[in-house]
């Protein structure tokens, strides 16, 4: 049986124009990588939006990053202060990974 | 003239999209198709503008129009900022963000104006495309300055230079300017083989693109809980003021009537692609609900349906 | 005539797509491109139909064809429902859902028929586009009625009115009708500047769209585990019956041969865009595997390859 | 260190035409928002499907909603009876969030 | 209150050309279905990639599969040896499901 | 001639995309739009090639060119493999994967060459499209053979037959061959109604597609940490060698100058669609960073900007 290790699975939902900045934070936290998940539309307290809006002004994206506890905490600490002002949504879950040393 | 405008298929498709979204139809244009049309339109007006300038050469008019366009883009935000804080009761951040939108320009409004005016025998000069490109970004700098002025420098990790880089390598600016230069280099003869795509299909694509814009504008308007009656009025007042400034300026520097009308439309139009993205990055505390509702939900439809005719009439009256 | 049809590039691209999917090729058309082509095709036939009616005026033929189309869309589901429950052994829900598909129409089948018939000197009247739009939705109401009749009203949170709203603001209906009205308003002269896109490119786009439809139809057919031999036969029998009814009806009310053939094709065709979505919402207990396999996997290819020729021949024989 | 709160991460996979109905249920459960995740294709007991099917007839979507235990339970109770008939897939996981009061 | 059962939520990030092979492994592990989640771009130790690259050469996809412990383990055992050579990313989390018997 | 090439809008758009990506502009072409253009271009060259062969008939030249193309695709990987292991210091797996790319062909390079050559009065024969399709896949087999030769058979679950199936039902091969056959069947007359789309718009679409390719190639080049200076040099040396082999071969079997030049370009070009996907599946241990950086980041731009002119000049000198 293959051995697995516990890691943090971090999802950050944000306005697409903010993506480059958040990727910078991921790199600053020394996290090995990230993936951007495509979301089509959504709704919240500030109304509804859809991706198929040619202006791109309202598009949102989910950034997915897997990291160990320490790095995850570093990223969360960096992002928490701007969560409200930048309208981010931050979710942190637990996952088991194989090849855990890379994260 | 307004009747001619309103029975043109280009405008009718916009109205169709607008009404469909108001009736909450599920009609929608795939994002990639909308972006494809917008790339096509920018490449087409860029290259056609360049070919025209290759024919006419760099004239004093061109230089005058370019300088005036730059000045308008830099200065309109100051007027707008003052109205938005005094009448509109907006915070500095919100007023600065909105002001940047009104100083910058809307490519689609310009393209629509060009088609409508040309259809009525009032073809603006080819160099107006260059003016359009020049006007896209200065307003961003003015808007940020107005929002931040006097404040203790916010702890932002956007250094000025990275902001400037983003502004000048902005996709639509690069495409417009690049296609313009290609048109200049290729000239009439080089353009001939690609003309069928960029010329023949142009108006039809514009119809479908305005259908999309109608849907998007109306959906944005429906979502506009954030804006007050005062702001809604400013979203009509600002284009009227800015457009009038543009037409007067164009007349004073001696542009032909058609180019003057186009300059009025540029001044009146508000950005809803480049500027919102820049504001979201550089002024995250400003509320996108406000600037998008005003520029996209109100000013854009107003300009397309009424503004073009108003500024053309004004340019003819003054010219 | 069948030979002419089968060597037309439009049909050959359909066959290419069909064979490619059967050979499990990884050829695929991006979703956004497919949707873009379908929006283009609907806008184009809508506006061209409107321009033709603007020329010919509202005639008695138009009114007669429209009424007959409406009646066919309402009534065909009853015939189909009876066959589907008796011969096809389907449950009420499944039979009602399938019946709705056959009462409604397929835009692509109509467009292909229009091109093929026009290419053979049999151009249907412009108003047939309006008939197409009218036939899209009544069948949904009949199908739901048939499925639910006699049952204790299911606890569904779809009130009738919200269902009706969804049916009438359905994207394809809005686009077809809207573009038709734009064509009416713009007329021949207003249409001229946008004609290059909507007319010149039309057949070529139809080729690529049918390539996509060939892929989609064959992939659906491959997935068709859910349907029995009886249902497969009905997927060919129903278009034959419905198309014959349509041709006889068109002949009786005195339509020209070409429009009669087109009405036959409309009656024979089965929806695979508007109706499946409506059924999934309003009749979730019906199995999409059944109605999609029949309408998209079997009836659509049958109509495109054989049906058009059959109903044209029949219309000529009766006319 | 930033404080986080436990919330439920709910994923519902459904046929795209059912999305408006499910959004209604999310709102009925007083959940603050939702996001639709784009899926390209899939397969299950009823065969395979792909999104790039111009008819849109077979498209599926994942609705993601984050909520507290009570609201999540209300949503699950509402959806469970129609899971089978409507062919839905319902997954509920645990996540930690910052700004937890908004959910 | 609706009863739920624990299942494994498996995510595998891979180069798109490898999808057919991974689907075969999912089927081999007797898992009832899978869904492919669209990702737009990402970055890791081997540089950055974006989906909007017409060559398709660098596109990546996430395969999502829900399964019980035994089947999940079978899939992990099958994939673990090729994780490194094929550049896969494997995440396993816990979810609660209704209709659990189908997985 | 190089000046003519470099001022053609087609090439200028490629340069624009390349520079924009180098300047890290956010300009981007939606994936679906890029794929749509590539489907359009393949359908168009396929059908046009077929129509031309329908006119000219199956000639000895066609058979000779086809055989030579097949041979080149099979054999070029052997030359390339030897250079890549000796000079390039690559492992067997990496060298085999890269060799497969250089044996296969690039559709866009061919299309661009066809346009540029035709614009200079050097139109290649219609059957060269068939040669293009034939050359796409044999190199994959050679490359895999070279990578695996002498090794203990790797425990791979790709049986040879499933690999072959994937290679021959590859989307671009199916589309090219299918459209070619459609052109053959339809002939000049059948092609006429769809000609406006497939002919008139062709060059314009190619401009926008090369804009996309410029962006993609430059972004790939920027990401190229994996490749050494030796490999970068081979990415220019290999097209020069292979293209020269192609031109000499074409001259020897007596093809006309234009077709010889096109054959040179085909031999010089490297695949970046079909082959990378096949290698990722069948040779997962090979590093995509190497083969994509070489074929897409260096060889493709080199061929488009310089290679076409070089091989045309060489073909004229020898012919
Ligand atoms: N820690 C991570 N979290 C999320 N996605 C990752 C992570 N590391 C790598 N990836 C994804 O996996 C791809 C390949 O990673 P790599 O092999 O490190 O280049 C990246 O481009 C990302 O899309
Ligand atoms: N509870 C939630 N679950 C999932 N997504 C959410 C939730 N709340 C908000 N979102 C997403 O975040 C975006 C912004 O939320 P808001 O700031 O509340 O308007 C929404 O449009 C949704 O896409
Ligand atoms: N075990 C699973 N894991 C992930 N997705 C699944 C699973 N089972 C089914 N699905 C998704 O749900 C859809 C419908 O499933 P089914 O009703 O079994 O055909 C499939 O096409 C998949 O997209
Ligand atoms: Na302005
Ligand atoms: Na029908
Ligand atoms: Na080659």
Each residue's pLDDT tens digit, B4-40: 778 899 999 999 999 999 999 989 899 899 999 999 9
pLDDT category of residue C155 using cuts at 50, 70 and 90: very low
**ipTM greater than 0.90:** yes
- Look at residues C143, C287, C282, C275 and name the one whose alpha carbon lies nearest to residue C223: C287
**What confidence tier does F160 reach under pLDDT thresholds 50, 70, 90?**
low
Averaged pLDDT for residues C2-10: 84
Residue of D37, D42, D77 lying closest to E1 (CB–CB): D77
What percent of chain D is predicted at pLDDT more than 70? 96
Residue with tokens 């014959």: C244
d(C-alpha D38, C-alpha D19), whole Å: 12
Candidates F48, F174, F184, F186, partner chain C, best to mutate (most C CBs within 10 A): F174
Measure the CA dihedral E37/E40/E45/E48, to 10°: 160
E91 CB under 6 A from ligand 1? no
| Nearest CB to A47; choose among B35, B213, B289 | B289
Q: C-alpha distances in angstroms, F101 versus D32, E46, F137?
A: 52, 21, 10
Q: Given pLDDT bands bounded at 50, 70 and 90, which one contains residue F280?
A: confident
Question: What's phi and psi for A91, nearest 5 deg?
Answer: -120, 135
> Is the pLDDT reported for residue C224 higher than 80?
no
pLDDT higher than threshold 80 for residue C18: yes
Q: What is the mean pLDDT of residues C38-60?
A: 93
Centroid of chain to Cα C51: 22
For residue F68, the number of C-alpha atoms closer than 13 Å in the C-beta half-sphere is 27
Give me the DSSP letters along E33-52.
-EEEEEEEEEEETTEEEES-
Write down the H helix ranges in B192-286: 195, 202-222, 229-252, 257-268, 274-282
Instruction: List the subunits that have 3+ CB pairs under 8 angstroms with E.
Output: A, D, F
Residue F155: per-residue pLDDT: 47
Instruction: Identify the CA nearest to D27 among candidates B219, C162, B22, A47.
Output: A47
Q: Flag whether pLDDT at D57 surpasses 90.
A: no
Q: Which residue has the tokens 């690559």?
A: F90
Question: What's the DSSP call for residue B196?
Answer: I
Mean pLDDT of C117-127: 94
C199 near B CB under 8 A: no
Write out pLDDT tens, residues F25-75. Answer: 989 899 899 999 999 999 999 999 999 999 999 999 999 999 999 999 999
Please name the member of B12, B29, B119 whose beta carbon is closest to the beta carbon of C193: B119
CA E102 to chain centre: 18
The answer to whether B98 and B124 are in contact (CB under 8 A) is: no
Chain E, nearest residue to D84 by Cα:
E99
Beta bridge partners of E38: E61
Q: Do A66 and E45 make contact, defined as CB atoms within 8 angstroms?
A: no
Q: pLDDT by residue (tens digit) across A41-65? A: 999 988 888 876 677 777 899 999 9
Pairing of strands E34-44, E60-67: antiparallel
How is residue C3 written in tokens? Answer: 């030979």
What's the whole-number mean pLDDT along residues D33-49? 92
Structure letter (DSSP) for residue B307: I
Between C151 and F195, the higher pLDDT residue: F195
Instruction: Give pLDDT tens digits for E23-44.
Output: 999 999 999 999 999 999 999 9
Q: Under an 8 A CB cutoff, do B174 and F29 touch? A: no
Distance CA B159, CA B166 (A): 11
Residue C297 dihedral angles phi and psi, to the nearest 5°: -80, -35
Cβ contacts of residue D74 below 8 Å, gap of 6+? D28, D29, D30
Q: Could you tell me the pLDDT band of residue D4, with boundaries at 50, 70 and 90?
A: confident
For ligand 1, pick from A12, A26, A33, A70 the residue to mutate: most ligand atoms within 8 Å of CB: A33
Of D69 and F153, which is predicted with more confidence?
A: D69
Select the residue of D32, D35, D99 nearest A39 (Cβ to Cβ).
D35
Distances (CA, A) of E79 to B40, C303, E85, E88, F51: 44, 46, 11, 9, 49
Q: Tokens 């989640």 sit at which residue?
A: E37
pLDDT tens digits in sequence order for chain B, 319 residues long? 678 778 899 999 999 999 999 999 989 899 899 999 999 999 999 999 999 999 999 999 999 999 999 999 999 999 999 999 999 999 999 999 999 999 999 999 999 999 999 998 999 999 999 999 999 989 999 999 999 886 655 545 555 677 777 777 888 889 999 999 999 999 999 999 999 899 888 999 999 999 999 999 999 888 777 689 999 999 999 999 999 999 999 999 999 999 999 999 999 999 988 899 888 888 888 988 899 999 999 999 999 999 999 999 999 999 8
Alpha-carbon distance A102 to nearest alpha carbon in chain D (angstroms): 23
Nearest protein CA to atom 9 of ligand 2, as residue:
D33
Residues from chain C that touch D20, judged by Cβ atoms under 8 A, are 281
Q: What is the 3-state secondary structure (H, E, C) of B61-93?
A: HHHHHHHHHHHHHHHHHHHHHHHHHHCCCCCHH
Test B28 with A58 for CB contact under 8 angstroms.
no
Mapped onto helix, strand or coil, the DSSP state of residue D89 is strand
Which residues of D lie inside 8 Å of E (Cβ-Cβ)?
11, 13, 37-45, 60, 62, 73, 76-77, 79-80, 83-84, 89-94
How far is residue E73's CA from residue E96's CA, in Å, rounded to a whole number?
Answer: 17
The confidence band for C156, taking pLDDT boundaries of 50, 70 and 90, is low
pLDDT for residue B191: 94
Distance CA A3, CA A24 (A): 32
d(CA B172, CA B166): 11
pLDDT of residue C14: 96
Q: Give the CA radius of gyration of chain C.
A: 19
Residue F205, pLDDT > 90, answer yes
How far does CA C82 lie from the centroid of its chain?
21
Cβ atoms of B295 and B244 within 8 Å: the answer is no
Chain C residues within 8 A of B8 when measuring between CB atoms: 186, 190
Closest atom of ligand 2 to D31 CA is 1
* Angstrom distances, CA of residue F224 to CA of A89, E48, F26, F104: 34, 10, 19, 22
**Which segment, C212-221, C297-306, F272-281, is predicted with the most confidence on average?**
C297-306
Virtual torsion, Cα F12, F18, F21, F26, nearest 10 deg: 30
Confidence band for F150, pLDDT divided at 50, 70 and 90: low
Do the chains contact at E18 and F28, CB–CB below 8 Å? no
Q: How many CA atoms are closer than 13 Å to the CA of F316, on its beta-carbon side?
A: 11
What is the structure's pLDDT at B316?
96
- Rounded Cα–Cα distance for residues E75 and E83 (Å): 12
């Amino acid at each position: 049986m293959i051995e697995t290790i516990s890691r943090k699975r971090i999802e950050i939902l944000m306005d697409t124009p903010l993506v480059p900045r958040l990727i910078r934070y991921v790199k600053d936290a020394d996290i090995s990588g990230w993936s951007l998940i495509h979301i089509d539309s959504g709704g919240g307290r500030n109304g509804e939006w859809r991706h198929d809006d040619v202006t791109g002004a309202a598009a949102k994206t989910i950034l997915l990053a897997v990291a160990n506890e320490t790095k995850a905490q570093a990223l969360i600490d960096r992002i928490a202060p701007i969560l409200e002002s930048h309208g981010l949504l931050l979710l942190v879950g637990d996952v088991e990974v194989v090849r855990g040393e890379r994260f | 003239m307004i009747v001619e405008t309103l029975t043109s298929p280009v405008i009718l498709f916009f109205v169709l999209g607008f009404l469909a979204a108001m009736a909450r139809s599920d009609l929608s244009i795939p994002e990639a198709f909308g972006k494809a049309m917008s790339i096509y339109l920018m490449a087409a007006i860029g290259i056609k503008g360049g070919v025209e300038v290759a024919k006419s050469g760099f004239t004093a008019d061109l230089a005058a129009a370019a300088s005036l366009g730059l000045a308008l883009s830099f200065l309109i935000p100051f007027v707008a900022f003052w109205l938005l804080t005094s009448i509109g009761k907006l915070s500095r951040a919100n007023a600065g963000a909105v002001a940047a939108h009104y100083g910058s320009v809307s490519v689609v409004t310009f393209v629509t104006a060009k088609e409508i005016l040309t259809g009525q025998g009032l073809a603006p000069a080819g160099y107006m495309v260059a003016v359009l490109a020049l006007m896209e970004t200065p307003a961003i700098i003015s808007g940020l300055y107005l929002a931040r002025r006097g404040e203790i420098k916010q702890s932002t990790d956007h250094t000025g230079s990275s902001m400037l880089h983003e502004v000048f390598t902005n996709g639509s600016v690069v495409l417009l300017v690049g296609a313009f230069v290609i048109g200049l280099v290729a000239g009439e003869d080089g353009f001939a083989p690609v003309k069928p795509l960029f010329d023949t299909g142009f108006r039809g694509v514009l119809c479908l693109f305005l259908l999309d814009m109608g849907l998007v504008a109306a959906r944005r308007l429906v979502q506009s809980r954030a804006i007050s009656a005062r702001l809604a009025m400013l979203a009509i007042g600002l284009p009227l003021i800015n457009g009038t400034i543009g037409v007067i300026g164009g007349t004073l520097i001696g542009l032909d009537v058609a180019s003057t009308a186009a300059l009025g439309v540029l001044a009146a139009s508000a950005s809803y692609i480049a500027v919102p993205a820049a504001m979201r990055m550089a002024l995250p505390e400003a509320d996108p609900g406000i600037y998008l509702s005003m520029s996209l939900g109100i000013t854009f439809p107003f300009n397309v349906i009424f503004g073009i005719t108003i500024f053309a009439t004004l340019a003819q009256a003054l010219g």
